[in-house]
Amino acid sequence: MDVATPAQALWNQRQVLSANAPRLRSLIDAVGRPGDFSPPQWAQVSAFTLEFAPDLIIELGRGFGNSTCCFLETARLMQRQPPCQLLSLCLTNHWHAVTLPKLQALCAPEWFAPGRLIQGDILDYSFAPLLESAERVLVLWDAHGFEIAECVLGNLLPLLAGRPHAVIMHDMSDLRFCSPPRDYGDSGLWKGGHGVYEKFWIGHICSSVGQAISIIDFATRNSLPLHSADESLFAEFANDAGRREELQRLLGDDLFSLQGHWFWFTLNEAPEPYVFPRFQSDKGKLPQGERRGLFTGNNPLSRLLHAIMPKSL
């Protein structure tokens, strides 16, 4: 399956994005969390989605909803029949409590219609029924930790393998195309936190989220190409001032950047047979809040609980 790279998508969709840029900016302002998902990422992910033309988008991790808005807006632009659907899973209620009231002045009821926004645990969600009728699936993997990685790689991917799909991974940078400080500064080692200040550098990947390690392992075992947005943006535009300037003119300096800080892959590019990690939902073993809230961080309470709980938990 051929997938347009992020750079090809940006170029192919530049006029659509340019015409829609004022609306994209109002949505970005309404969400008000550009640090969670940067304006250039809105444009890049919107373009990638338009080119991929999924009939189903699965958003893992909504938070305050940058990516949710980006996908709902892109679903509107796609004008697909039947319309592209968005399944969004998140533990938090930020969307309903904070973001939704701000969007209601900007967006008609139809805009929200493709979205099925669930407040719940990704680890407990049963993806199979939804995927039965899906033809092209785009996944945004923006919820962190090794448990979710096991769920994505061991539960969701086997269901996607037989159909066209692509998975976008947020919070991973390509060291071949960006230059964060090499020194540790005041930081110790990355020890398993999510989105923390400490980062790990492995090969050309720099990240502070555990799934970056899990995907390196999975990609290596499956001979799966792991692409960064940046490698395509640099390859297409770094030495092409004409096209770069056109994109800058059409999108503005706020929405255009050669930096992506996201990766993507599709199992459709890997040779079969694929290998997957075992995933067992531990639903019911512990109350939900405890299982996810206390056991995933590297906080003192989590370490204490790990020390005193029986290993089988």
Ligand X SMILES: C[S@@+](CC[C@H](N)C(=O)[O-])C[C@H]1O[C@@H](n2cnc3c(N)ncnc32)[C@H](O)[C@@H]1O
**Quick check: 56 and 84 in contact, CB under 8 A?**
yes
Other residues' Cβ atoms within 10 Å of the Cβ of residue 267:
23
Stretch that binds ligand X, among 141-149, 218-226, 245-253, 261-269 (CB under 6 A): 141-149
Q: Is 37 in the site for ligand X (CB under 6 A)?
A: yes
Q: How far is CA 119 from CA 71, 87, 91, 122, in A?
A: 17, 11, 5, 9
Q: Contact letters (x/-) for ligand X, 184-213, by CB under 6 A? A: ------------------------------
Q: Which is nearer to ligand X, 72 or 270 (CB)?
A: 72
Stretch that binds ligand X, among 20-28, 140-148, 228-236, 244-252 (CB under 6 A): 140-148
Please select the residue that binds ligand X; options are 8, 12, 26, 92, rule is CB under 6 A: 92
Q: Is 67 in the site for ligand X (CB under 6 A)?
A: yes
Q: Which is nearer to ligand X, 211 or 222 (CB)?
A: 211
User: CA torsion sign, 280 to 205 to 262 to 226?
Assistant: negative
CA distance 134 to 160: 9
Stretch that binds ligand X, among 10-18, 33-41, 98-106, 152-160 (CB under 6 A): 33-41
Please select the residue that binds ligand X; options are 39, 40, 54, 61, rule is CB under 6 A: 61
What is the footprint of ligand X within residues 94-123 (CB under 6 A)? Answer: 121-123
**Residue 54: phi, psi to the nearest 5?**
-75, 155
The number of C-alpha atoms within 13 Å of 86 and in the hemisphere containing its C-beta is 28
Q: Is 292 in the site for ligand X (CB under 6 A)?
A: yes
User: CA torsion sign, 281 to 284 to 288 to 292?
Assistant: negative
**Number of chain residues interacting with ligand X (CB under 6 A):** 21
Q: Which is nearer to ligand X, 42 or 218 (CB)?
A: 42
Q: Is 86 in the site for ligand X (CB under 6 A)?
A: no
The number of C-alpha atoms within 13 Å of 2 and in the hemisphere containing its C-beta is 4
Please select the residue that binds ligand X; options are 142, 150, 230, 231, rule is CB under 6 A: 142
Q: Partners of 92 in the beta sheet?
A: none
**Quick check: 230 and 177 in contact, CB under 8 A?**
yes
Q: Is 66 in the site for ligand X (CB under 6 A)?
A: yes
Residue type, 312: S
> Would you tell me which residues interact with ligand X (CB under 6 A)?
33, 36-37, 61-67, 89-92, 121-123, 142-143, 148, 292
